[in-house]
Structure 1
């Protein structure tokens, strides 16, 4: 009995309590196949050291990389119907939404933050591809519109990080209606002569490219980003011709005038701050003068929560 209690049971406990290796301990570079330690990639803003391949960034990590002191106010977004068409394919649409929310910690594919960029107030919208491919549905459309309306109210620039596979099929025509709605909202910002800057990340396709993602006063792309409406294979089958090397990639589009700049992620924050200053005719603020973003009373109904910072 002592042998069972003193030897067998501890062995069983140690086996059951054995710590498993995290799945994301190492990352394989899609470009070179190189294995890189996840923590090194995370510390490098999700850019693979050596190959400079730009991995996808989550919404919180993106906001953290843009705002001063990694601090911002989450903008409360209007609620929408969870499943307006009662859609079901292999699974129920509501079940897919629940899984996406559990995976990303987001309510939908777009998150909006308000804060300061090198001392100047800005509104930033981020599309997270991990949430159902960053697809554009009613909730995402409402988020983009609300962000643009807040920028109009606060008289600030609006920066949009786009990453999407297109419109969300589970919402049918209701998702397609977000294309003209967001276009009208962009025009509202133009009427007060404040800049709308779009950063195209990998990938940006479909209905998002056909609407707010290509309406920026300045179009920026990350290196190697796939940008287009239809896929390359569909285009080849339609025109029955072989497409050029690098077609629909950021560098190719810059050469052909579709985007204005291709900017490395390490230089993105400084580039955005400089563009906002130039387009708003504002003076540069010294680093010592950069403070935490302050919220004014009219914003409280939009961001009732305290300043949000990305989790470590």
Structure 2
């Protein structure tokens, strides 16, 4: 790895959140900066919700090229940005801000990109234009469903513990989304080619996802956006049945690529070294 050079002309970016100490984005971006020998720095920026717009407006004044946005600021970023691209508008949240040459702030969302790129990397050759079942109806589910519809999924079946939220998500996104009751989640697996868990069930410190996989076709791919632990109970159960499984770490890694290219002018890849670096920072469960 090349030594990282930082000068008074360094390009700056960061991640805005509250709290922000949990974010692994500094590991990712500073690894790339060092690897490519770029004069730049990526910083954690702890910003309380009431200060977010003021802090965002300060980015151009402080010489920042942009920033990532994490909880709880993703919706505020969408509302406060000068420009919002079509993907962020559809998802309803922004995770990436880019300062333009004239000092305006453009908002986008790279979560859908990261989700699909993770599947393509970790399950090469998998057909993603298949009927899918998505569990959960939060912000991550919105990005996942946008990604699946854009990848050609003929139908997305959506199940959430609160049906009303799933109905609202389906209505806002449009397209071939069918909502089912949470109690019917197992039966909805029949005929699916892809199962995606976007809930926190199965995350370290949370209850496991209770799901009977008997109706899921054996050729179906199973993925979980959770990456603490990497092998969630859902993935372990699916793998035991012979399914190909994909953990959620790659989504985090790949969603970082477009922002890095915009801020630092270099297209980057997700390498085994980077994945290993971030894996070492994940608590063993």
Fold equivalence (TM over 0.5): no
In our comparison, the structure showing a higher alpha carbon Rg is 1
Normalising by structure 1, report the TM-score.
Answer: 0.29
Higher relative contact order (CA 8 A, sep 6+): 1
Normalising by structure 2, report the TM-score.
Answer: 0.31
